[in-house]
Structure 1
Amino acid sequence: MLCLFIMVFCFSSATCSELLSRHRRSWVIDSFTIEEEHPGPFPYVLGKINIERDYRVMFDLYGEGVEKEPKGVFTIDKDSGTLYAHRAVDYEKNKLLQLKFEAVKTDLSIDTKLGVEIAILDINDNPPRFQKDLFEISVDEDITQGSHIQTMVADDRDKRGTPNSTFHYEIKSVSPSRPGTEFTIDSHSGTISFKGCLDHELAEMFTVVVEAKDHGDVVSLSSSSTVIIHIQDGNNHLPTFSGQTGSGKVKEDETGTSPLRLHTTDKDTPNSPAWRAKYTIHGDEGAHFKIETDPDTNDGILTVVKSLDFEEEALRELTISVENEAPYFSCEVKEKTPSGLWKVDTSKGDDPPLDTLKVIIEVQDVNDPPVFSVSVKEVVLEENAPIGTWLEKITALDPDSGQARAFVYKVGSDPAGWVTVDPHTGDITTAGTPDRESPHVSDGVYTILLHAVDDGEPPMTGTATLNIHVTDHNDNVPQLTVGFVDVCVSDGPSSTKITAFDLDDTPFGGPFTFELLGDVKGKWKLNPSYGYTAGLVKEPGVYSGPHTIDVKISDMQGQFAVYNLSVTVCHCSERPNCRGPRSTATTAAPEALAIVFASLLLIMCLLLMAVIMTCRKEFKPFHPSGTSGETFLPSNIENPGTDCKVPDNVLVGFIENSIDQSNWGGQHDGIKHNNFSKEMEQYFIYNHFRDHRREDMFHLHYNRNQATLRSLVANGHHQTHLREEMDTMNFHATLHAVLHQQLFSLQKKEGDLLEYEPQVYADEGDSDVLSELEIISLPDKDSYQKALNDLGPKFKQLASICKPPKIKN
């Protein structure tokens, strides 16, 4: 029980002690003040924190000014609680410092905690500062007094609302000093303006020093800034004429010349809008002149832009004024009042009195060209009028004297050579027969140009126009537009159109009357037969081919002409028109001609090869193995000998060396042959060389005959065996087959042949007249040897030289 009482007592005592301790720590925060920039000496006592205790406590201080920035400013005596300041502080950096105070018991327990505030007292240590130390601006010379020029702005870092941070503006100096100009500044806003007038010619620049000064109680601080004001030149001086240069003379009818150059002076800045001059011409009726400003000298250059007339006015008087590009202004101080703006006299934008100058331009007389009394004349002339018909008379006057002179009249332009003009009287007569259908007549009007030439220095020429209206006569007959037409073959009537025209105009032209002449009944008729186009109708009985029809065409006055109209009747389903093949042959002619020349060149090469190949020592055929349907040509590359005699078969080498593998179906009776017989060779040569008239046929058939020979040799026929079988071969049947094949090939390539006129043997339907055809004959075997004899002695001599030696078995 005693222990329980002791525990309750101790617990109650501890609780009461703790409650009393928390009550003592809830004191109001202490505050101190310190003046910024305190001069010392340091350290000095700032104050003391008093805590009454029956027991001993120690004091500690933390926060701004101790271990936080600004560090090292304050300390506290641990025993007495006295605060010390060790250095000066800046109000502009720290206006209030907040610290923490602690009282600690001997057992290191915290007895008391409280906050401490130290206020910094401001002093006037900052002058007002401008944004820049130098300002540079430009203003126009014509700006009016009181206008805003520049606003100065300054700032003071001292405490707001105190005399230390309150300041005003004032102008300390102005350079240069001019009596007609005074600069002012608003002390509160810092706005700079001026009184009076600005004059660029008196002062191009002003330097103004502005000061800002605060209202500190102990000391007043200030700073200054400089403002440079450039005065831009305005047009406050008018230009004046200072002289002129030039002849002042101009020839009549002359443009682009400059008779005068005017000079001016101006006190404003050169090459500025206030200096550059503008000139104006007064009294220039007809706008004959212009004046421009020389950009370098500012002179006025007077130029003639429209020709002058001496006879109209020999002297031209002009008035020229000058001003500047920039508008003129003026400013003059009348009174300097003690307050407010001064009294000044200004004029801006008003029309100032401009400087003017009168100039005289002398127009010099020159020889003017003659002037016709009427520049364009119209006359009427009948077509086919006789030569010498009088048309018109032309006259001209001299503008220099206003009277007629002895001019020479000429024809300037007469495309068809129809007229002539009397050089002295100006009478115009016809020199040719006028034709209304001439290509030089347009819409029935023929135009000529006439000239009148005076005897002045230099001679001048006047021009007039004469329009001749040519009346039409019926001197042209109707004409066909085209002289040939095509008509299609059909079971019923078919038609085409015939169109005519007449060079004459109405009523001597169309519509026309068409009429068919001759025996056309049942064959041809017209429907319609009147108008500008008639319909030609073919009856079913008219056969295909060319036809000629006589057509009579009459105009409205009965003038007519008869024409032979070529009509071609054809099957239109086969070709687009009846003249298609003719056009195709013409197109293919160059290609066919090229084939002919290529064939001739190939024949010459093969003949040369035949002669060379016969002059070999040994004739051995080459039989390749392992071929796939292809055969190599026999070849011998030995040099020919010199002991050759006339060979029994001269052309064997030619035949063998002029052929290669070809598939012609070279089999006869199921046996393959290697070479031709001698008679076959002679027959081949004979058929292609015996007659020069068949040279063209040779070019067409040569390649195919060569293919036939190549096929026989390539299929393994020997010469001896070939001779035996060719004797029994039906040679005529073979030749017929070859000719039939060639004919079939020509029919397929009909469009590629050269154009030629076919031989007409009989007209269609005319069975009474028989024409004899050419006889086609084939030579017999006896003529083979004749073919060789026809080759002549020169060929035999060549063969004797190139004969290969006989090989003995």
Structure 2
Amino acid sequence: MTKINVFLFLLALVEVTASNRHFAHNREKRDAVLIRSKRRWVLSTIDLEENMPGPFPAELTQLFNDKGENFNIKFRMKEQGVTAGTLDIFSIDETSGIVYVRRSIDREVNPFFHVDFDVLDKKTGVEVDKTLSFNVEIKDKNDNRPEFSPVTIRTAFPENIAEGTLPATLQAHDNDQKDTPNSQFTMSVLSQEPTVPKLSLKTMGGSTKIQQLAFTGCFDYDKAKLYKVLVEARDQGTPTLSSTATVFLDIIDSNTHAPKFSASRYNAEVMEMELKEILRIGVIDKDTPNTPASNAVFTIVKGNEEGNYKIVTDPKTNEGVLSVIKGKNYIKTEIKELEIEVENEEKLFQCVDGKPVTGSKTKPNSVKVDVKVIDMNDAPVFKKSTEIVYRNENNDPGDVLFIPEVKDEDSDVNKLRYELVQDPAKWVTIDPHTGKITTIVKMDRESPFVINGTYPLVIHATDDGQPPATGTCTVVIYLGDVNDNAPFLISNQTVMCGNKVDRVNVMAADLDKPPFGKPFSFYLGGEEDLKELWKLEPTTGDNTSLISLKSLLFGNYTVPLKIQDQQGLEAETVMQVIVCDCAGGNVCRGRLPYFSRLGPAGIGLMLAGLLLLILILLFCFLWECGGKTFQHIPLNLKEEGNQTLIKYNEEGGGSIYKPEPINSVGLKKSSKIVASAPPEHFFTDGYRKGENGTLRNPGGYGSQFSSGMFQEMSNGEGVMSMPNRSWSMARTNTVRSGVSQMSRSYSMARSDRNLAEHIDRKIYGLPEEKDYPEYSPHKYDYEGRGSNCESLDKLSVSNLGENLDFLQNLGPKFNTLGGICQQAMQHKNVQL
């Protein structure tokens, strides 16, 4: 007994010691605010309960100060609750020092106050002691209930969701003092509709403030599509407070019903080799339409080993569409049996007695389809759909190109009918009974119908079935090239700028392919003397250059050429070369464009020109009929008196003509002839008149009328000149007071008729009549006795070569003559 008493005494002593220690710890904690800070002392902490019921003002504490023994003092408060923060909460009786609370305080708004007070001399208002402080701590009451955030929750999930948590999370909070029973709460499910499956709450992350709904069992969409759950949160304060939240659960239908065929068996028929849709198969499904739970998926499980059929789902009607995708040739009509199964896109889920069924797989619903394939007349089949034949071009007609090989399981091949349906150039013919293809003309590889060296033919073979069937074959003929095309010039006309270059490019081509085409060999044709004027360089290659060996007069030149291809096939052609003075590029100076449009001004000028031409012809006619002779008009020159131009081709009387030996052309070998007759009298069998006034000899070259003068060089022996368009008259230009006039005069020495007869006799070597005066031929540029100007007498054009600088300094008289000619040309708007 004594031992027990001692034990109890010791236990009580320990309890008292612990209690004292706890009290001392709380006091130390409370009095820890009594620290000095800027001459302020916190005397104590006063506890005040929140939301005091009143009445107010209520006495809180009383302040004392020992300075009252020596002074008549008063008290003054400031800081929180008085002059700072929430105002008018505390007040003090300045005489007695009693502190009052004027209204109730909400701890959740003001959990703590720090109040300062001063001791003042009542008379002078001077502080008689240091500023002191005290704290007011508001004690919590359970005046806040737990609050859900949000209060209402709505979520959705599929019917076949697995047991466990649901996508519904609830969260709440309490504004009372933290870590006290007033702010600690629990959640629970108060009610649910429907009651199956059972719902509960599961703590998330170890905190009771966040909970998640959970369930056991399974949902049945056919029984309930919406669940309403009421959840409560209740704190542990005194008295306890609570609140509720509502959770709505929407159930999404899952595949809980297997699809079923609307018929027990189906029938369909199709023609052989026909590819099309043959059947639509309907199904019945109790799940929600147009969802993975009800969308049907069809499979052909038997009868489609060759892959002739396929079945797909129509997304609008959910029917199975059976089609033939690969044709098959049947000897007779047959019936094919297909077995088709149907499932849903989503796997089947079953909930039996509130529990999900697992581990069992229900066999899909199936149905059989009988497909009747009707035998049809099959088309003839060629051994190859595309046949290739090789031939050289230009083979003689009658060449057999191809004889087809055809099979027809439904008809006799001997009764087939062949037809040629594509033969663009009409080169072949086909035997309608055998299909033999034979050429009827020579095939040309360079024909526009030949593409990349191939010429395609298309033939048909038609049987005698009902209805007739046709097979098609393409025959591609590859044509080999032969050297059947000679080279040719790409362009046989060119311009040589005589003032810039001495050569032109000669471009050639050949329609044949290698080795029957380029490189080419180039040669000059015509007579040997042509090689003294031209040469080709290089003589082999894809093209060459035609080079002039001498300085050529401006005019048109015809150069015969020979071109050989790589195999020696030769072609003769002619190159037309225009030698001229070029202003820019390869365009002759003063050359008009080939094509132009005439505006109203141009048409007016043409009409004016025609009228002027008619007036000139009428004037000439009157002049001829009148027999008048226009005299030379003297020139009124400012420099050295009056001068008159004489005719350049006047000759004095000659002696009686004496025949001399002539050559085969009818001209003396070393004579120089002057003629004023028209140029047609000089054309013989060996010469012909060319275009643009060109006189061409048999050698292929000649010269051209230029600036009113016709010139010809023949082996350096004969020189012939005649005025342009005025064979028996001279053209004289006279300048009088700035006006250009033109006069013509007939030579009285000999008429045109007598002159023509005279020239003809000399050309053909006929004896001259004895009454003709004897004369000696003169050079064509002889115009009488020499001039008094020594500089003009010493001019020798034949010895000057290409240096014409002397023309710039010919004396004052020649300058006057040049000025007269220049004025006349400007007046007539003449272009050189």
TM-score, reference length from structure 2: 0.59
CA contact (8 A) 2:411 2:465 kept: no
Alignment partner of 1:450 out of 459, 463, 475:
459
Q: Distance in 1 between matches of 2:237 and 2:693?
A: 136
Q: Distance in 2 between matches of 1:492 and 1:269?
A: 94
Q: Distance in 1 between matches of 2:609 and 2:552?
A: 49
Q: Distance in 2 between matches of 1:74 and 1:489?
A: 124
Q: Report the secondary structure of 2:712's partner residue.
A: coil
CA contact (8 A) 2:489 2:506 kept: no
Aligned residue number for residue 371 of structure 2? 361
Q: Distance in 1 between matches of 2:516 and 2:167?
A: 94
Alignment partner of 1:585 out of 570, 582, 592:
592
Matched, 1:775 2:729: yes
Aligned residue number for residue 671 of structure 1? none
Matched, 1:427 2:436: yes
Deviations 1:509-537 (A, max 9, x none): 98668574544376366777677767766
CA contact (8 A) 1:546 1:566 kept: no
Alignment partner of 2:225 out of 204, 213, 218:
204
Aligned residue number for residue 765 of structure 1? 713
Aligned residue number for residue 230 of structure 1? 250
CA contact (8 A) 1:133 1:226 kept: yes
Greater mean alpha carbon deviation, residues 76-85 or residues 235-244:
76-85
Deviations 1:588-639 (A, max 9, x none): 76559954624747999xxxxxxxxxxxxxxxxxxxxxxxxxxxxxxxxxxx
Deviations 1:345-400 (A, max 9, x none): 546xx98744344434333444443222343344455655444444443343325x
CA contact (8 A) 1:181 1:198 kept: no
Within 5 Å, give how 1:719-730 maps onto structure 2: none
Aligned residue number for residue 689 of structure 1? 615
Displacement of 1:421 in angstroms is 1.5
Deviations 1:296-353 (A, max 9, x none): 3322333444555445995454444434344555556788xxxxxxxx6546xx9874
CA contact (8 A) 1:499 1:533 kept: yes
CA contact (8 A) 1:502 1:509 kept: no
Alignment partner of 2:295 out of 272, 276, 280:
276
Alignment partner of 2:321 out of 289, 301, 314:
301
Matched, 1:183 2:200: yes
CA contact (8 A) 1:445 1:470 kept: yes
Aligned residue number for residue 281 of structure 2? 262
Q: Report the secondary structure of 1:147's partner residue.
A: strand
Aligned residue number for residue 657 of structure 1? none
Against the structure 1 CA distance between its residues 294 and 471, is the aligned structure 2 distance closer, same or farther, given a 3 Å change threshold? closer
Within 5 Å, give how 1:380-459 maps onto structure 2: 383-399=393-409, 401=410, 403-404=412-413, 406-442=415-451, 445-459=454-468
Q: Report the secondary structure of 1:597's partner residue.
A: helix
Within 5 Å, give how 1:536-551 maps onto structure 2: 540=550, 545-546=555-556, 548=558
Against the structure 1 CA distance between its residues 39 and 441, is the aligned structure 2 distance closer, same or farther, given a 3 Å change threshold? closer
Displacement of 1:177 in angstroms is 1.0
Deviations 1:98-148 (A, max 9, x none): 556677888677788864545444333322222232222233433322225
Alignment partner of 1:29 out of 14, 33, 43:
43
Q: Report the secondary structure of 2:592's partner residue.
A: helix
Amino acid of the structure 2 residue aligned with 1:195: T
Displacement of 1:764 in angstroms is 0.9
Against the structure 1 CA distance between its residues 768 and 191, is the aligned structure 2 distance closer, same or farther, given a 3 Å change threshold? closer
Against the structure 1 CA distance between its residues 333 and 51, is the aligned structure 2 distance closer, same or farther, given a 3 Å change threshold? farther
The percentage of counterpart residues that share the same residue type is: 31
Within 5 Å, give how 1:470-481 maps onto structure 2: 470=479, 479=488
Greater mean alpha carbon deviation, residues 423-432 or residues 771-780:
771-780
Q: Distance in 1 between matches of 2:504 and 2:40?
A: 136
Amino acid of the structure 2 residue aligned with 1:689: L
Matched, 1:160 2:178: yes
CA contact (8 A) 1:169 1:185 kept: no
Matched, 1:170 2:191: no
Amino acid of the structure 1 residue aligned with 2:463: D
Q: Distance in 2 between matches of 1:141 and 1:510?
A: 87
Matched, 1:251 2:271: yes
Q: Distance in 2 between matches of 1:160 and 1:598?
A: 116
Give RMSD over aligned pairs: 5.3
Deviations 1:244-298 (A, max 9, x none): 999733334444x322222233333333333333334456456554444333332
Matched, 1:150 2:207: no
Displacement of 1:464 in angstroms is 1.8
Q: Distance in 1 between matches of 2:247 and 2:491?
A: 100
Q: Distance in 2 between matches of 1:510 and 1:101?
A: 124
Aligned residue number for residue 762 of structure 2? none
Q: Which runs of 5+ in 2 are unaligned?
A: 1-38, 622-630, 646-690, 695-704, 732-741, 746-832
Aligned residue number for residue 465 of structure 1? 474
Matched, 1:322 2:322: no
Q: Distance in 1 between matches of 2:166 and 2:475?
A: 78
CA contact (8 A) 1:156 1:165 kept: yes
CA contact (8 A) 2:518 2:542 kept: no
Alignment partner of 2:152 out of 128, 134, 145:
134
CA contact (8 A) 1:252 1:308 kept: yes
Deviations 1:193-252 (A, max 9, x none): 2222233333222221111112234x2222212122223333444433334999733334
Deviations 1:31-69 (A, max 9, x none): 554443444566766566678988997875745667878
Q: Distance in 2 between matches of 1:316 and 1:443?
A: 49
Q: Distance in 2 between matches of 1:111 and 1:770?
A: 152
Displacement of 1:506 in angstroms is 5.0
Alignment partner of 1:370 out of 380, 391, 408:
380
Against the structure 1 CA distance between its residues 378 and 136, is the aligned structure 2 distance closer, same or farther, given a 3 Å change threshold? closer
Aligned residue number for residue 748 of structure 1? none
CA contact (8 A) 1:35 1:122 kept: yes
Q: Report the secondary structure of 2:208's partner residue.
A: coil
Q: Distance in 1 between matches of 2:496 and 2:512?
A: 28
Q: Distance in 2 between matches of 1:409 and 1:734?
A: 98
Matched, 1:93 2:109: yes
Against the structure 1 CA distance between its residues 225 and 239, is the aligned structure 2 distance closer, same or farther, given a 3 Å change threshold? same
Q: Distance in 1 between matches of 2:483 and 2:87?
A: 132
Q: Distance in 2 between matches of 1:102 and 1:521?
A: 141
Q: Distance in 1 between matches of 2:553 and 2:209?
A: 121
Amino acid of the structure 2 residue aligned with 1:36: E
Displacement of 1:406 in angstroms is 1.5
Against the structure 1 CA distance between its residues 505 and 774, is the aligned structure 2 distance closer, same or farther, given a 3 Å change threshold? farther
Against the structure 1 CA distance between its residues 437 and 181, is the aligned structure 2 distance closer, same or farther, given a 3 Å change threshold? same
TM-score, reference length from structure 1: 0.61
Q: Distance in 2 between matches of 1:428 and 1:730?
A: 88
Alignment partner of 2:216 out of 195, 198, 207:
195
CA contact (8 A) 2:75 2:92 kept: yes
Against the structure 1 CA distance between its residues 126 and 555, is the aligned structure 2 distance closer, same or farther, given a 3 Å change threshold? closer
CA contact (8 A) 1:91 1:120 kept: yes
Deviations 1:658-696 (A, max 9, x none): xxxxxxxxxxxxxxxxxxxxxxxxxxx9x983635889x
